[in-house]
Homo-oligomer: A and B are copies of this chain.
Amino acid sequence: MTVEANESYYAVIFSSQRTEGDNGYGRMADRMEQLAAEQPGFLGVESVRDAAGSGITISYWDSLEAIRNWKENPLHQTAQEKGKQDWYHNYNVKICKVERAYSSN
């Protein structure tokens, strides 16, 4: 992801605990990552899940409007419903404004 330091952008932090079994999750997760990447204002995503099912996914967007549009995308809404019902014991979402960023290389 290439973002100039003086542009403002946003992060959506999604922390979750997966239920047991796949139940169609893997396929939908791949689809959602692909679909998100096609949305206006999408800047990038990073995602980690450990063997015990704890996960953090952070997607980056250029505006709050882009985040809202993605949340309301019909296919994404279907995925969100399945997430609530089948895939996550629990999750939380935080919408953040990135104020500063630096990296080791």
| B-binding residues in A (CB < 8 A) | 10-11, 13, 15, 46, 48-51, 54-56, 58, 64, 84, 88, 90-105
The residue from B50, B102, B103 contacting A48, defined by CB atoms under 8 A apart:
B50
**Could you tell me the dominant secondary structure of chain A's interface residues?**
strand
- Cα A46 to Cα B55 in complex, Å, equals 10
Flag if A90 contacts B105 (CB, 8 Å): yes
The residue from B49, B50, B93, B98 contacting A94, defined by CB atoms under 8 A apart:
B98
Flag if A99 contacts B96 (CB, 8 Å): yes
User: Which residue of the partner chain B has the closest CB to A96?
Assistant: B96
Flag if B101 contacts A94 (CB, 8 Å): yes
Flag if B58 contacts A13 (CB, 8 Å): yes
CB distance from A72 to the nearest CB of B (A): 15
